[in-house]
Amino acid sequence: MTKIASQVVAELTRQFNQELSAAHAYRALSLWCEQANLKGFARYFAKQAGEELEHAAKMTSHLIDRGVLPQEQAIPAPKTEFESLLELARQAQAMEERNTQGINAVYEAALQTKDYAVQVLMHWFINEQVEEEAWCLEMVERIEAATCAGGLSDLDRHIERYLEEGENK
Ligand SMILES: [Fe+2]
Ligand SMILES: [Fe+2]
């Protein structure tokens, strides 16, 4: 295996830390939902936090396989206060849009340096982000539509099934 270029190491390092910070942020969303008695949303976001840790691990394993010790960076404090579930959902959506930009930046560095292994690694992430943005959009639209009395707690009971069915489409 050819030596990994420094700009690819820099991009993968930035991105695996972004995945860790996404995990941290999803945990905050989960806690907010838990205290608001939205237990379905709380469970769903807790699961997302776990998935973001797995994403980081895929990248750190690749760095280690290529002889590079991954460098963890400081994780900024996430937003913890929200006016409403809709504001919270839009924040998750914006975060996933930034994640997609970050993934694309890693891929771009891999293209420029002809790093085929990182290109293939990033194919999985590029596909994953299509799903992540899709469930965020569905979530925002379903919350916007849940305006009648009892609509939100009804949505909370079904949200995991809705969004997970979407992921497995
Ligand atoms: Fe991710
Ligand atoms: Fe994500």
Each residue's pLDDT tens digit, 72-102: 999 999 999 999 999 999 999 999 999 999 9
CB atoms within 10 A of CB 119: 17
Burial category of 26 from C-beta neighbours within 10 Å (exposed 0-12, middle 13-18, buried 19 and up):
buried
- Structurally, the chain folds into a number of domains equal to 1
Q: How far apart are CA 73 and CA 32, in angstroms?
A: 25
Q: What dihedral do alpha carbons 21, 121, 109, 2 form, nearest 10°?
A: 120
- Residue 82 domain-assigned? yes
Ligand 2 centroid distance, CA of 2 (Å): 30
Q: Report helix angle 6-35 to 85-112, nearest 10.
A: 170
Ligand 2 centroid distance, CA of 18 (Å): 10
Q: Name the residues around ion ligand 1, CB cutoff 5 A.
A: 19, 52, 55
Structural domain including 16 reads 6-167
Quote the longest CA-to-CA distance of the chain.
Answer: 60
pLDDT at 169 exceeding the cut of 60: no
- Residue 1 domain-assigned? no
- Residue 125 domain-assigned? yes
Predicted TM-score of the model (pTM): 0.93
Ligand 1 centroid distance, CA of 106 (Å): 13
Ligand 1 centroid distance, CA of 162 (Å): 20
Nearest by Cα to 133 from 167, 82, 85, 88: 167
143: domain CATH number? 1.20.1260.10
pLDDT in tens, 33-44: 999 999 999 999
Q: Which ligand is nearest to the CA of 96?
A: 2
Ligand 2 centroid distance, CA of 149 (Å): 31
Q: How far apart are CA 110 and CA 136, in angstroms?
A: 27
Ligand 1 centroid distance, CA of 113 (Å): 23
- With b for 16 or more beta-carbon neighbours within 10 A and e for fewer, the 84-103 pattern comes to ebbebbbbbbebbeebbebb
pLDDT in tens, 35-80: 999 999 999 999 999 999 999 999 999 999 999 999 999 999 999 9
Ligand 1 centroid distance, CA of 85 (Å): 21
